Amino acid sequence: MKLRGKRGAIWMLAILLFCSAAFFGFSRDERNFEISKNLNIYYTMFRELNLFYVDEIDPGDLVKKSMDAMLKTLDPYTTYISESEIEDFKLMTTGEYAGIGALISKHKGEVIIAEPYEGFPAYKSGLKAGDVMLEINGTSVKDKSTDDVSNLLKGQPNVPLTIKIKRPGVKKTMEKKLVREKIQLKSVPYYGMLTDSIGYIHLNQFTNKSAGEVKNALKELKEQNAKSIVLDLRGNPGGLLDQAIEITNLFVNKGEDIVSTKGKVSKWDKSYKATKSPVDSEIPIAVLVNRGSASASEIVSGAIQDLDRGVVIGNRTFGKGLVQTTRNLTYNTKLKVTTAKYYIPSGRCIQALDYSHRNEDGSVGKIADSLITEYHTKNGRSVYDGGGILPDVKIDPETYSILSVNMIRDFMFFDFATLYANRNESIASAKEFEVSDELFSEFVAFVKESKDFTYKSESTEILKALKESAKGEKNFDISTDEFAALEAKLAPNLDRDIERFKDELKELLAHEIVKRYHYQKGGIEFSLREDKALLRAIEVLENNSEYTGILNGSIGLHAINK
């Protein structure tokens, strides 16, 4: 007898669940009995839903949602990877896929090219940031999600694609012909010399080629007379553990402890040491980190700090010290499951949130202050667990005005840069480009004429709620004047605030324009021009007494942030 359609799929699932339940039911172990019992309950519930629910149900969708909800109660990193998500999973671990080499986004209900990657098919065919996609090989993309469009663009390499677009500022639609290629995204999109003696390496991910790219960059910078190195891990969310170990090994001697893992399955516990001779174990290093530095980034920066191999500069890191292992499931699916925790050389764990002990409302709290423990680096400096890596030199994080945030949200910088790039053939280099007062005036006029821009202030919304609360408590009448004065000061005033934040707005606009001509590499190069953390790193590396003083603990001792 053949099982067909959704009903057949439901019964096949039910049979599998029942068999699993029966299998576990034979065990005398109490835990396995609980598994058996609950799987049986799940099977009978699913059977009743299928038989009696008022509308037809989609078994695959329903089961996936139930699995996702179950895993969500554990931690954000334990996830089910369906067959349709396998390609995205491979991209995360390898940085490689077959496509056109562009970041796409949704804007005003349309799918646009947000950023073409230099050297790949989108770039070579002349696609530009801001181009609106209309058709792919004759298939309309109207009302499609970015995931749907991404699936149309990705696939087997060497396949020709014809993409129909409309370009802002250009009346006629265009067709761009290109051939899908294997895309290998660089882990090191930029490196270069900051001064005559200080080299810089920007590492934005840990894929299977990251260590090789960092090694090549390091060797080339040394050939250019680099006497010290800035390793920038800001905004790097992590990736493969083995790459974090290999990158650390580039700077530390063979045999040094780098990281260890400990979990429920003790036979999987492992200590990882440097297994190769380093490229340079003496060159001074400044590692830049921020809140966006996580996982593998924290292993590298934490090991460098614990071994007193270099100075860590920036903001406290994210605090992801959980190890994930990928397990194969049936039907080409996978489970990415948290199996252990990371421990860096001093013995501390970098995990910030305690998912095993949730609050009554289901939220997750940080490690309690009373449980934070002091550890020591190789030179005896005090370091602490309880959440991420606390830098040796702390830099106050830079924040943007609410006006800038509103303009970013409403694509003002992006849309103006699109029109500018479609009118102008070239600009100065990333290191030299500036937004003139004349160009800034054009931008201001563009913003004021735009129907898409709304200027809202969070503080005024809070004040409005406070007014309503005061009225409800009958306290508003005695504070009318105070409310009016505060409202006048906090109310968004576009002309006033454009003048107040002119320098900040100019910088954001310049950065967006630079990326249109010099792409990712130029965008990074531009952003380094007035980078406070980078400038501080250069100061430390150029001052040998400060650098060595931090590492031997005589200066720059940091206190725990509680």
Distance CA 478, CA 7 (A): 68
Q: Return all residues near 370 (Cβ < 8 A) that are at least 6 apart.
A: none
Distance CA 329, CA 82 (A): 10
Structure tokens at 409: 């949200």
Q: Render 387-414 in DSSP notation, one character per residue.
A: SS---SEE-PPP---HHHHHHHHTTHHH
What is the identity of the amino acid at 11? W
State the burial class of residue 205 (Cβ atoms within 10 Å of its Cβ: 0-12, 13-18, 19+).
buried
Q: What phi-psi label fits residue 428: left (phi over 0), alpha (psi between -120 and 50 degrees) or beta?
A: beta
Q: Render 469-503 in DSSP notation, one character per residue.
A: HHHHTT-SGGGHHHHHHHHHHHS--HHHHHHHTHH
Is 266 tagged catalytic? Answer: no
Could you tell me if 373 and 348 are in contact, meaning their C-beta atoms sit under 8 angstroms apart?
yes
Cα 529 to its chain centre, rounded Å, is 23
Q: How many CB atoms within 10 Å of residue 432?
A: 10
Bridge partners for 289 per DSSP: 314
Could you tell me if 46 and 13 are in contact, meaning their C-beta atoms sit under 8 angstroms apart?
yes
Distance CA 88, CA 213 (A): 22
Q: 144, 176, 209, 320: which one is catalytic? A: 320
Q: What stretch of H or E contains 188?
A: none
Rounded-to-10 torsion of CA 46, 50, 54, 56: 120
Helices 241-249 and 296-306, axial angle in degrees (round to 10): 30
Considering only CA atoms, which of 329, 357, 352 is closest in space to residue 341?
352
Is 306 tagged catalytic? Answer: yes
Distance CA 467, CA 471 (A): 6
| Cα angle value 373/377/379 (rounded, 5°) | 140
Considering only CA atoms, which of 100, 88, 93 is closest in space to residue 181?
100
Q: 125, 150, 295, 297: which one is catalytic? A: 295
CA distances from residue 269 to 249, 263, 264, 290, 342 in whole angstroms, order as listed: 20, 6, 9, 29, 10
- Is beta strand 228-232 parallel, antiparallel or unpaired with respect to 198-202? parallel
Distance CA 18, CA 34 (A): 14
Structure tokens at 560: 């725990």
Q: 131, 232, 306, 308: which one is catalytic? A: 306
Is 295 tagged catalytic? Answer: yes
Distance CA 346, CA 187 (A): 28
Could you tell me if 389 and 291 are in contact, meaning their C-beta atoms sit under 8 angstroms apart?
no
Q: Name the residues annotated as catalytic.
A: 295, 306, 320
